[in-house]
């Protein structure tokens, strides 16, 4: 696949900041992956692919072959969340497989700047992911260089964990900084996102809801995706402007 084709497929940057649902296939039935993706396509803007190496996190999961297999099956944005050591070593092959966006962990690279530049050189959008233990301010020096900031709300590696509410003030801090600078950077929440807690994440300032078990382990996958997409796109309540009168 030519790099120019990959670039042309990317949504316009102006779409950043709009509410979106990312369906994470980590909890999907991998034996019927194309069908699982098609099931939620009417509501998911993004298909989220978790890639793990057994080093940065204990499990080994998914990888380039899944991206290449999915690419002909969907026109949705494919977003790779790399939970791996030395993530930049995989960028070229992931881009060639058809990945649109790559997010890597700040904790895996030390200095994110070279990895961001390498991701962009392949034609992909770039994002930085932070674990709960990493101060959210660690990403602030790079906000002007990235397309999304992903904040983990669980410990990375396993689907099905409960969302840790410590993520909410972190989302608020990131949203405040992004808005203060007037940047079109998506703020993503990843981990334990379900219909019952999604609105609180959006109210805190998240623009992308990443959900795995919240969709694929729900009694009705399609209804869960529909409800989550509605919450994501509805966004935060608009506060009326004050004119100083009562």
Active site members? 50, 190
Q: What length does the chain have? A: 246
C-alpha to C-alpha distance for 190 and 50, rounded to whole angstroms: 11
DSSP string, the chain: --HHHHHHHSPPGGGTTS-EEEEEGGGS-GGGHHHHHHHHTTT-SEEEEEEEESSSSS-EE--HHHHHHHGGG--SEEEEEEESSSGGGGHHHHHHHT--EEEEEHHHHSSHHHHHHHHHHTT-EEEEEE-TTS-GGGGGGGGGG-SEEEEESS-TT-TTPPPPTTHHHHHHHHHHHHHHHT---EEEEESS--HHHHHHHHHHT-SEEEESHHHHTSSSHHHHHHHHHHHHHH-SPPPPPP-S--
């Amino acid at each position: 696949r030519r790099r120019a084709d990959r670039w042309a497929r990317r949504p316009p940057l102006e779409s950043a900041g709009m509410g979106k649902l990312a369906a994470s296939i980590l909890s999907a039935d991998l034996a019927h992956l194309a069908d699982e993706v098609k099931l939620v396509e009417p509501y998911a803007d993004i298909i989220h692919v978790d890639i793990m190496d057994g080093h940065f996190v204990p499990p080994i999961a998914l990888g380039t072959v899944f991206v290449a297999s999915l690419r002909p099956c969907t026109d949705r944005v494919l977003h790779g969340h790399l939970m791996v050591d030395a993530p930049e070593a995989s960028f070229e092959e992931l881009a060639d497989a058809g990945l649109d966006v790559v997010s890597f962990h700040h904790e895996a690279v030390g200095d994110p700047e070279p990895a961001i530049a390498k991701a962009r050189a392949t034609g992909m959008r770039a994002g930085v992911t932070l674990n709960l233990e990493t101060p959210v301010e660690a990403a602030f020096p790079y906000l002007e260089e990235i397309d999304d900031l992903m904040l983990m709300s669980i410990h990375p590696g396993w689907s099905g964990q409960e969302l840790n509410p410590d993520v909410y003030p972190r989302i608020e801090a990131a949203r405040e900084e992004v808005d203060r600078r007037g940047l079109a950077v998506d703020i993503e929440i990843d981990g334990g996102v379900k219909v019952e807690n999604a609105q609180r994440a959006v109210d805190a300032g998240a623009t992308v809801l990443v959900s795995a078990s919240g969709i694929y382990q729900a009694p009705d996958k399609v209804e869960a995706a529909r409800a989550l997409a509605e919450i994501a796109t509805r966004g935060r309540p608009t506060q009326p402007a004050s004119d100083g009168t009562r």
